[in-house]
């Protein structure tokens, strides 16, 4: 698959073709901490629905590292006045390569579904683990000398790389924290304000337009058999750095506004057709439940030979390196002295035999609800479903809120996207100055219910329908029947 070159390696990537990577990136790739990503599915449970979605975080990370380098090099050649140097390029490439080091088993299922239930109140995200794993990777593989050999200044550049991975300043880990506005003091330490645009390449918290998405749009669409309407190469050609108010931002030509809306539409379509697919969410809930059942019983050896449960392994990178999708194999084929995995085993066997949880339906909420209103709505639904079904701790159903949007909830992400005109390549202008084009809505929200018990689903479905009618929510019965067919027929779940 690879061919050695004196100055690095050529990789034959299924999406980007033959790509050349810097030798320092190759050294990072050839570590156990990076190779671990071979065993973490890019799309979590989607592989159980779309048989082609077998790709992993490994190839996605290589793709992002490559695109990050291509993007920053194109800016360097087009605008030498930006003073982008080789250190900047190498740091951006490393950040792109390492941005997903912290993903757990089945990717977002682990940090968005398993950890919140296994560690109540935890705000841990995979980006936090990516930074910890990056530090661990550099330390245990003795890469600091190699980094200095290739021109990096460790005191500045290690901080810069980790800031690029995290997106926000490292000391700012509040969930939902808004990106810093142009009028606020410069919050980063890795690079000064003159190079603010570099923070918009790998993890762009301003508007979500970054090379991470460029790769997974192309890669996921390819493996899902869907069309990708966004051309990142065209975006690279028309991208320039311009100053808007106080800071430099990556801007696109005014005529590209429609193409960028296509990009965000591709994102929402991927969520609707794959990431939030009703059968996929069902399977992911089942995997999450199996991991919760197995959590106290599977022990992973970490540093100083200390052993950690699945949920505690996130605090020890030596243990976390051993935690991948292969945890399902431990559940399916437990050691003879692990009878406590029987409950988790039964759930996984139900997945493999296509005996999924019953899907009761989904309520379409229309406009996106405020957090407190949504919380009250869900609680009223749970109270309704618990009628005659015993205490809440029986955990016989799961309520899932599914949001499909353009990446900024109900907001237009283009409001934080800047453009330039052919008549003035230096001046950045906001979106409303170049186009009045607007989609009608930027988000939709539904509430789904999955029934875990093998009994009582018919009565629960009627209770759910009555609750929807009482609250004036549209209940999607047609899609309920489609999901039932997808599960009952024992197919690969290709029914949409």
CA 334 distance to own-chain centroid: 30
Taking the alpha carbons at both ends of the chain, their separation in whole angstroms is: 35
3-state secondary structure of 30: coil
Q: Which residues are catalytic?
A: 126
- For residue 450, what are the β-bridge partners? 359, 398
* DSSP summary character for residue 105: T
> Using an 8 Å Cβ cutoff, are 437 and 334 in contact?
no
Cα(134)–Cα(257) distance, integer angstroms: 36
Q: Count of CB atoms within 10 A of residue 390's CB?
A: 9
Q: Are 348 and 289 in contact (CB under 8 A)?
A: no
Contact (CB, 8 A) for 428 and 249:
yes
**How far apart (Å, rounded) are the C-alpha atoms in residues 365 and 95?**
38
* Residue pair 324/39 in contact by the 8 Å Cβ criterion: yes
Rounded Cα distance between 407 and 208, Å, is 7
Q: Residue 224: which of 269, 161, 176, 259 has the closest Cα?
A: 269
Could you write out the DSSP letters of every residue in 388-414?
TS--GGG--EEEEEEEEESSSTTS-GG
How many angstroms separate the CA atoms of 93 and 431, rounded?
29
> Which stretches does DSSP call E strand in 316-408?
358-366, 397-405
The helix/strand count (H/E) of the chain reads as 19, 13
**Contact predicate 268/409, CB 8 Å:** no
Distance CA 494, CA 486 (A): 7
Alpha-carbon distance 104 to 97, whole Å? Answer: 17
- Compute the C-alpha angle 284/290/293, nearest 5°: 145
Distance (Å, rounded) from C-alpha 342 to C-alpha 477? Answer: 35
């Amino acid at each position: 698959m690879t061919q050695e070159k004196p100055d690095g390696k050529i990789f034959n990537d299924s999406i980007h073709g033959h790509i050349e990577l810097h030798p320092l990136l190759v050294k990072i790739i050839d570590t156990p901490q990076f190779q671990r990503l071979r065993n973490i599915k890019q799309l979590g449970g989607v592989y159980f629905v779309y048989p082609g979605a077998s790709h992993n975080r490994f190839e996605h990370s290589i793709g992002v590292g490559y695109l990050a380098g291509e993007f920053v090099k194109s800016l360097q050649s087009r605008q030498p006045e930006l003073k982008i140097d080789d250190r900047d390029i190498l740091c951006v490439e490393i950040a792109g390569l390492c941005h997903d080091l912290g993903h757990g088993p089945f990717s977002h299922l682990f940090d968005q579904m398993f950890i919140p239930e296994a560690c109540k109140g935890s705000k841990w995200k995979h980006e936090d683990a990516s930074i910890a794993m990056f530090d661990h990777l550099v330390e245990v593989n003795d890469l600091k000398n190699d980094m200095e050999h290739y021109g990096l200044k460790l005191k500045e550049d290690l901080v810069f790389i980790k800031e690029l991975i995290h997106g926000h300043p490292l000391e700012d880990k509040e969930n939902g924290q808004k990106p810093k506005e142009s009028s606020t003091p410069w919050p980063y330490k890795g690079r000064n304000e003159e190079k603010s645009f570099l923070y918009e390449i790998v993890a762009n918290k301003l508007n979500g337009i970054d090379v991470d998405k460029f790769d997974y749009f192309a890669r996921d669409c390819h493996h899902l058999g869907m069309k990708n309407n966004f051309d990142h190469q065209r975006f690279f050609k028309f991208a320039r750095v311009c100053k808007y108010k106080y800071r430099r931002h990556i801007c696109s030509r005014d005529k590209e506004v429609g193409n960028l809306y296509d990009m965000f539409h591709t994102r929402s379509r991927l969520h609707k057709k794959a990431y939030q697919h009703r059968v996929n969410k069902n399977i992911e809930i089942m995997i999450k439940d199996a991991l919760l059942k197995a959590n106290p019983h599977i022990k992973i050896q970490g540093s100083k030979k200390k052993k950690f449960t699945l949920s505690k392994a996130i605090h020890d990178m030596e243990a976390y390196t051993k935690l991948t999708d292969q945890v399902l194999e431990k559940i399916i084929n437990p050691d003879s002295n692990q009878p406590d995995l029987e409950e988790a085993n039964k759930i996984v066997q139900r997945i493999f035999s296509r005996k999924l949880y019953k899907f009761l339906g989904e309520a379409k909420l229309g406009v996106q609800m405020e957090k407190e209103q949504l919380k009250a709505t869900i609680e009223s639904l749970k109270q309704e479903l618990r009628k005659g079904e015993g205490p809440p701790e029986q955990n016989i159903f799961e309520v899932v809120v599914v949001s499909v949007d353009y990446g900024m909830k109900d907001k237009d992400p283009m409001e934080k996207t800047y453009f330039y005109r052919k008549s003035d390549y230096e001046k950045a202008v906001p979106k409303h100055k170049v186009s009045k084009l607007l989609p009608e809505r930027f988000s939709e929200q539904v509430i789904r219910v999955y029934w875990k018990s093998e009994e009582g689903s018919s009565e629960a479905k009627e209770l759910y329908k009555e609750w929807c009618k009482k609250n004036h929510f549209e209940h999607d019965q047609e899609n309920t029947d489609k999901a039932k067919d997808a599960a009952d027929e024992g197919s690969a779940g290709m029914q949409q």
